[in-house]
A and B are shown apart, each in its own frame.
Chain A
Amino acid sequence: MDWHPFAVAVIDGILLGGIYAAFSAGFSLVFGTMRVINLAQGELVMLGAFSAYWLYRVQAIDPFYSIPIVLGVLFLVGFGLQKLLINRIIAKEPLVSLLLTFGISLILENLALRLWTGDYRTITTSYTGSRTVVAGVTLSNMRVVGLGLAMLAMVGLFLFLTKTKIGKAIRATAQHPDAARLMGIRIHQIYALTFGVGAALAGLAGVLIALIFTIQPAMGGFYTLMSFCVVVLGGMGYVPGALVGGFVLGIIQTTSATFLGGHWMEFSIFATLLLVLLSRPAGILGKGIVE
């Protein structure tokens, strides 16, 4: 059976969207909880990608086995950044946090350049590039697994936020920091935990990206930009919206490339972003934060 190119493009878009959702969920969580636009999100993705890369290259640890290590390392990095730096400016003007996270992104990028040079790298294992043919459409196993992991992470995050005490504390802090503090929640500790979780999610996406694309110390800017697009589409600060935003972005990208041509991909993404910002500033689902 020959699938219509549109159906194939939508499937490709959903698979790509899973990766977008993975690295954008943390961005959305951090914004939703403390109103910080984390311009270093892409650099956290980069750190996750390089962690998996070096664990594979130096210790021969399979990227999937390295996921718990990468999650742990990135959680600590995120927790540390928030505790040491971002907590100090959390009550200040939004511009201050933008400048601070931009500074962090520059430091992380240049540190990575110094440590690992500007060479392009990728993880190639015996199974990268493996594929399955489903009803005539060839699908990448890596992307299917990537989508599965991204969904799992989103469900895990949802359960964490709704079912655990810490998750409820995060939500309470997001809704009303002063009230949360009066209830005995140590909000700066919660902020650090939240940033740690956001960084861990970026790390997970980094592992998938290292398996599918190329990685390089200067890669972060692109992923920060894409995170921003995804959360605007899904709703700023509304974590499940990252999944919707990721899928929409992925599908726009693949369908525009299929029917309009490769040079229309970026235009289509930013035109959609503009339309959503103008018509539905709270995101496609209407549940994002609008201030």
Chain B
Amino acid sequence: MGRVRCLAGVRAILGTLVIAVLLGLWASAPAHAAERDYFLFGSALSLTGRFSTEAKSMMEGYELWKWWINKQGGIKVGDKRYRVEIKYYDDKSDAATAAKLVEKLITEDKVDLIFGPYTSGVTFAASAISEKYRTPMFEEAGLSEGLFDRGFKYLFATDVSVRLLMKRPMEYMVQELGVKKVAIVARDAIFPLAMSEAAKEFFDKYGAQIIHFEKFGAEVKDLTPILRKVQAKNPDMLMLGGHLQDSIAVQKQLKEIGYRPKGVFYPIGANHPEFVPELGKDAEYATSFLALHPDMYFKGKHMDTNQFYALVKERYGYGLPKILDEEISGAMSMCLVVQEVIETAGVAPPFDQAKKDKVRDTAAKIELTTFYGPLKFHEKGYNVAKEWTTIQVQDGQLVNVDPKFRAPKGKAIYPAPPWK
């Protein structure tokens, strides 16, 4: 009797083990993606929370490329085309969540590459994970210098770093407008501060004098006391290194105290679709910069700038100014870079470590022009070739005022007239 019981017990254990092994094999089947004949990319994006507006625009850029490339049959590797799928998770605008999700994308979903999240802060955390798993991350919305000073080998930003982003606008303001005295007011956060420090460096380099540099805390809404101090010093140009809410608030608060500097530059301001509609006439004469403007034209390898506009119009029905949304164009351009890298490397899905390394090595050497502009990666991983143009709000329109980028009609109104 005892022996029978013992045998039954052994049988039960063996049965359980067999079931467990079978379940394990079944569970690992999707990860066993040797038969996958399409590219699978993954992204942790801020689909909810404070960055959701911009991140959703980025997603529109990713999806635009996916739609466009799949219409042609997919990415061409050798003689064969492979369709593209992108898996998204919502990081809830939280850096730690993004990092966990990127780990899940790499280890569980077995994506070939990671597409970047939104903001430098989130990218900082997420890219540490993709680097740990030696999986290339291509991104366009994490541009702070600190991201690229970590010696990472698998991080590629298809736009210029914050520092280089500020170079051309500062050069334009000093050399073309004749700005001599500058006040910089900066939010004490990674991206705004990085922009402000870079602006300070380039204003200084081109010969303007920084007469006021002041930081403000993350929860400050009312900058009236700081603006009054700036008013007392009377600079030629006021630059606000802040987020969009700061730029809108400062434009209102400048009017409230009746102070209009000769020029006011918001790196994040009129280049966002909400700025002009929300402020109406009060947005006039505010300056900002843009990656793309209808005055700019790039004959990209896969499509030119006009073809990109037509594609956005066809897919989403967007016109000006939404069509210039840098998140959509930047994300689409980033995807074209990914496409070019994969096609050049000639690696078919799914990616093992050798293929990921080949993508990485190919990306490091690539030089390309997309509809968005030229691209060449610095050894630290950011684009060194792209320049942004300076714009000014005039009669509610975003006028390109930097003559370097074909602006035959656009001319800055400088100094701006006093508030009415």
Residues of A bordering B, CB below 8 Å: 5, 8-9, 12, 16, 110, 113, 117-122, 124, 128-129, 131, 133, 138, 140, 142-143, 212-214, 216, 218, 222, 225, 253-255, 257-258, 261-263, 265-267
- In residues 45-77 of chain B, which contact A (Cβ within 8 Å)? 48-53
From A140, A214, A261, contact of B256 by CB (8 A) = A140
A218 to chain B: which residues have CB within 8 Å? 49-50
Q: Decide: B255 and A129 in contact? CB cutoff 8 A.
A: yes
Complex Cα gap A110–B278 (Å): 22
Q: Decide: A128 and B216 in contact? CB cutoff 8 A.
A: no
Q: Decide: B220 and A262 in contact? CB cutoff 8 A.
A: yes
Complex Cα gap A12–B51 (Å): 31
B185 to chain A: which residues have CB within 8 Å? 262
Residues of B bordering A, CB below 8 Å: 48-53, 185, 188, 214-226, 228-229, 244-245, 248-249, 252, 255-259, 274, 278-282, 419
A124 to chain B: which residues have CB within 8 Å? 252, 278-282
Q: Decide: B219 and A222 in contact? CB cutoff 8 A.
A: yes
Given A140-B257, A262-B217, A266-B219, also A122-B224 (CB < 8 A): no
From B50, B215, B216, B278, contact of A122 by CB (8 A) = B278
Count chain A CB atoms within 10 A of each CB in B214, B225, B226, B228 and give the residue with the most. Answer: B225
Count chain B CB atoms within 10 A of each CB in A110, A113, A120, A212 and give the residue with the most. Answer: A120
Given A117-B52, A121-B278, A263-B216, also A131-B256 (CB < 8 A): yes
Given A9-B225, A214-B245, A257-B226, also A129-B215 (CB < 8 A): no
Complex Cα gap A9–B278 (Å): 28
Given A118-B49, A119-B53, A122-B249, 16 new contacts (CB under 8 A): A5-B228, A117-B53, A120-B248, A120-B278, A121-B278, A122-B248, A122-B252, A214-B248, A218-B49, A254-B222, A254-B224, A262-B185, A262-B225, A263-B188, A263-B216, A266-B219
Complex Cα gap A266–B257 (Å): 23
B252 to chain A: which residues have CB within 8 Å? 122, 124, 128-129, 212-213
Complex Cα gap A3–B227 (Å): 16
A262 to chain B: which residues have CB within 8 Å? 185, 214-217, 220, 223, 225-226
Q: Decide: B222 and A118 in contact? CB cutoff 8 A.
A: no
B281 to chain A: which residues have CB within 8 Å? 124
Q: Decide: A138 and B278 in contact? CB cutoff 8 A.
A: no
Q: Decide: B226 and A119 in contact? CB cutoff 8 A.
A: no
